[in-house]
Structure 1
Amino acid sequence: MNAASSSQETTRGNGRRTLVLLFAVFFGAMALAGVLRFSGWQPATHRNVGQLLQPPVDLRLQPPLLANGAPYSWKTDEKTWRILVAPPANCGEACVTLSQGLAKVWQLFGHNADNVEILWLGTPPAPLAETPTLRELAPSPAFRAALPGVDDPAGVPVYVVDPHGFVIMRHAPGTDPGGLRKDLATLLKLK
């Protein structure tokens, strides 16, 4: 009887240890997830490359005009995202390089390319002219001034505009076009 009682006691002790261990692993993982969540940590794959603007800038208050003088409508399609570039008048070689990168980004969207328009304030450089969804906007100092950090001494920033006309993201001058593509690809999935 002594051996049976001892065996039963050992089994009961092992069961308790297993239960406590499972409890610790389950609630420990939940506690770790809570700490990571509330500390602001995010996996690298979920981070934006561009700067998320808080609050977003409402461009509907100053609707732009196309180069031909017609008004540009923000509500053309609920799924259309925009890449907006507002370079200074004397942009030169920096704008040519930027336009080449934007043309490649647009092509890489493949079947989603029709859901991305490129808005260029002023006359775009030749590499971008072949892009079917390019919209040339008439120069407007007031419209340009509404964009945050537009006169960056480092170069020309690129903006992401949502389907309703809100600037939600700013990519710093010299940012890799692949980062812009990554951010827009994530946004296009939100359809």
Structure 2
Amino acid sequence: MSTPSMTLNETPSRRRGRLQLLALLGVAVVPMILATSMYKLNFWVPDNRSHHGELIGTGQTPADLGVQGDSAGEHWQLLVTAPAACAADCQQLVYLARQINIGLGREATRAEHALAAAEALPADFQATLDKDYPALQRYGLDPAAHAKVVKQGTAPQLWIVDPHGNLVLRYPAGTDGKAVLKDLQHLLKLSNIG
């Protein structure tokens, strides 16, 4: 004789098995649905970030910026782009990129610094680069291609580029060097490449 709550074919162990299956599916499927919903609907996303620059997550490369030449290498790169004349703010970013590279200490060999300029450099700055910046890589820059990607005008920018040639972070002129150094150190700590 069966109890009123059970049917003829359902035993307590069968019911327990169904509950376990539902619990297992819930543990596996519910987090995936929740994560997909959070990504698509942009809710419960934390407001604070651990990086200081503007994150570039579009898979763009320096070539998309208009950098002429093969700027992809084996190392992380601090790339300064100057779509107009390399004036004082551009020169300060070039100096900052070198100082950040030096500031990496024993990790300095994992990074390099570069300048992509659209116009010829002033003679005095060119002489300074030749004398004091022997490791600085130099590239040409197409200002029209740069303007398609960067909508902020012709101000120079500092970019962190990963060893695969992807743009990772962007910083405007006048940015704090300690913040950039902290971001690059964090990236190097998390990365096995470069």
Normalised by the size of structure 1, how large is the TM-score? Answer: 0.60
- Secondary structure, aligned partner of 1:186: helix
CA distance in 2, matches of 1:146, 1:161: 19
CA distance in 2, matches of 1:62, 1:100: 21
CA distance in 2, matches of 1:149, 1:181: 25
Equivalent in the alignment of 1:97: 92
The answer for unaligned runs of 5 or more in structure 2 is 1-42
**Residue 92 of structure 1, CA deviation:** 1.5
Provide the aligned length of Structure 1 versus Structure 2.
Answer: 142
Equivalent in the alignment of 1:83: 78
Contact 1:53 1:170 in 2 (8 A): yes
The CA deviation string for residues 64-119 of structure 1, in whole angstroms up to 9 with x for no partner, is 44xxxxx4252x32xx1111111133232212222222222111111221211212
CA distance in 1, matches of 2:136, 2:144: 21
CA distance in 1, matches of 2:66, 2:85: 24
- Paired residue type of 1:41: P
Contact 1:82 1:162 in 2 (8 A): yes
The answer for unaligned runs of 5 or more in structure 1 is 1-37, 66-70
CA distance in 2, matches of 1:94, 1:62: 19
Map 1:1-191 onto structure 2 (within 5 A): 39-41=44-46, 47-59=50-62, 64-65=67-68, 71-72=69-70, 74=72, 76-77=73-74, 80-122=75-117, 123=121, 125=125, 129=130, 130-145=132-147, 147-149=149-151, 151=153, 155-189=155-189, 190-191=191-192
Aligned-CA RMSD value: 2.9
Equivalent in the alignment of 2:32: none
Normalised by the size of structure 2, how large is the TM-score? Answer: 0.60
**Residue 48 of structure 1, CA deviation:** 0.4
